[in-house]
Amino acid sequence: MLSIDRSIIDAIVAHARRDHPDEACGVVAGPAGSDTPTRHIPMDNAARSMTFYEFDSMEQLRVWREMDDRDEEPVVIYHSHTATEAYPSRTDVSFAGEPGAHYLLVSTREPDTEEIRSFRIVDGVVTEEPVEIVDAAVDPHAVQSYMFGQSPATVDYECSDR
């Protein structure tokens, strides 16, 4: 399960919309070992392509060193697919080199709705996981009743059936 703050998801979606129809990419860093994404770092897509993304190697070195200095790790690595579903392509799987990261995909193929899905990719094996979007601004004790499957401060996205 990926648990991530709504403000970060909103920033990722805004980045993906801004760069559409090119693919957008970036990282959300978090304290090492916490599995909690806290610091959104939009990255340049050096490929500037509608069907391919690639971190600029020099920007990546700077960002990875900065994370090291701050005792952080890449908790989330995200990119957008702009004409297809939010599911890892064979290319995505071939390149996936951070076994501890959540690979978040956003599809911007629909103009009004985003498809947001998260995956673990380890040794070439793709495993989808639920995404829990946490609304830090809402006081969870302020609401006393809610529908099954929802809580006042979170929205759970189950894995799509495939």
Q: Using alpha carbons, select from 80, 75, 77, 66 the residue that is nearest to residue 114.
A: 80
Does the footprint of other proteins cover residue 13 (CB under 8 A)?
Answer: no
Among 19, 23, 72, 115, binds other proteins (CB under 8 A): 23
Query: Length of the chain in residues, anyone?
Result: 162
CA distance 88 to 77: 12
Is the Cβ of residue 13 or residue 46 nearer to other proteins in the bound state? 46
Binding of residue 91 to other proteins (CB under 8 A)? yes
Question: What is the nearest approach in angstroms of other proteins to the Cβ of residue 66?
Answer: 13
44-83 residues near other proteins, rule: CB under 8 A: 46-47, 49-55, 57-58, 60-61, 64, 77, 79, 81-83
Which candidate, 160, 149, 161, 133, places its Cα nearest to that of 1?
133
Closest CB to other proteins among residues 98, 129: 98
| Rounded least distance, CB 82 to other proteins, Å | 7
Total chain residues near other proteins (CB under 8 A): 35
The answer to whether the CB of 39 falls within 8 A of the CB of 27 is no
Q: How far apart are CA 79 and CA 19, in angstroms?
A: 11
d(CA 151, CA 10): 19
Minimum distance, C-beta of residue 156 to other proteins, in the bound complex (Å): 26
124 binds other proteins (CB under 8 A): no
Per the structure block, which two tokens stand in for 94?
Answer: 């071939």
Q: Exposure of 135 by Cβ count < 10 A (0-12 exposed, 13-18 middle, 19+ buried)?
A: middle
Nearer Cβ to other proteins (96/153): 96
Binding interface with other proteins (CB under 8 A) = 23, 25, 43, 46-47, 49-55, 57-58, 60-61, 64, 77, 79, 81-84, 88-92, 94-100
